[in-house]
Structure formats: C-alpha cells, structure tokens
C-alpha cells in the first residue's frame, strides 16, 4: 500500500501539481476529508502485589475499553499472568510495570502470580471481570 510519504515523494519527483496530488490522495483514501479519530487514552488501573495477594483482587473493565495496568510489588518479585488472554509480566519492587490489557469478550478471567514467591504462592490470584 502507498503511504502518504510515498505519495509525497512521487509528487515531488514527478513534478506533479497540487491538484493532481490532491486527486491522488483522494483516490487512495476516500475518507481523506474526514478528520482522523483521536485515539482514546487508556484508563490506568494501579495494582499492588504482595505475598500472597493483589490489591485490588477484582479488576472491572468494560468490554472494548482500553486499559493499562500499572503493576507494583511492595515486597519481592511476583508475576502477573492472565493465561486465557496470553499476557503476563514480572512485577518487581521499586518498578512500575505497565501492561496493556488486550480487548476481551465479556467474562471472568483469572489472573495469578506465576513467579514462585513462597508458601502460599498458589493462592495469589484475582479476577479480571469484563462487563
């Protein structure tokens, strides 16, 4: 596909007049007269990890909503994994890890720690609830 930049190069090297360039652009992008949609800024949800829980343990998002998690640990390295959505991250003390949630169909998705962190590691879990 031709990009705007390549069209500009074509116009510059071929000596095309401005009306010709406009015509070419219009044929490449029929909606060229319409303003481009402004990308919606994602909602940020802060999540704290500690032995052996997440706060909040339930994260609610709307279907189709753009959400970025900011993950922090207050004690040691943990993991944050949502196997069903194929996302995970390490969560370290002193560092904020940003994790964009993929858009998901309505439902309940379990998230859990996937970095062994002690005797109750297997209990460290929560739910992402997509409404």
Residue 112 binds Cu ion, judged by CB under 5 A = no
Cα–Cα distance for residue pair 17/90, rounded to 1 Å: 55
- Facing residues of 61 across strands? 130
Residue 121 binds Cu ion, judged by CB under 5 A = yes
Q: Least separation, in Å, of the C-beta of 116 and Cu ion? A: 6
Q: Which of 47, 49, 104, 113 binds Cu ion (CB under 5 A)?
A: 113
Helix (H, G, I), strand (E, B), or coil: what is residue 129? strand
Query: Other C-beta atoms within 10 Å of 128: how many?
Result: 22
Residue 61 binds Cu ion, judged by CB under 5 A = no
Please choose, out of 30-38, 87-95, 97-105, 109-117, the segment that lies near Cu ion by the rule CB under 5 A.
Answer: 109-117
């Amino acid at each position: 596909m031709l990009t705007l930049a390549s069209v500009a190069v074509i116009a510059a090297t071929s000596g095309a007049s401005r009306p010709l360039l406009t015509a070419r652009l219009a044929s490449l992008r029929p909606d060229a007269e319409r303003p481009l949609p402004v990308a919606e800024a994602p909602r940020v949800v802060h999540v704290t990890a500690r032995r052996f829980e997440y706060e909040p343990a339930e994260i609610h998002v709307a279907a189709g909503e753009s959400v970025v998690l900011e993950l922090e640990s207050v004690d040691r390295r943990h993991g944050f994994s949502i196997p069903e959505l194929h996302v995970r991250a390490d969560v370290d003390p002193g560092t904020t890890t940003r994790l964009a949630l993929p858009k998901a169909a309505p439902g309940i998705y379990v998230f859990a720690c996937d970095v062994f962190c002690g005797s109750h590691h297997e209990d460290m879990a929560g739910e992402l609830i997509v409404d």
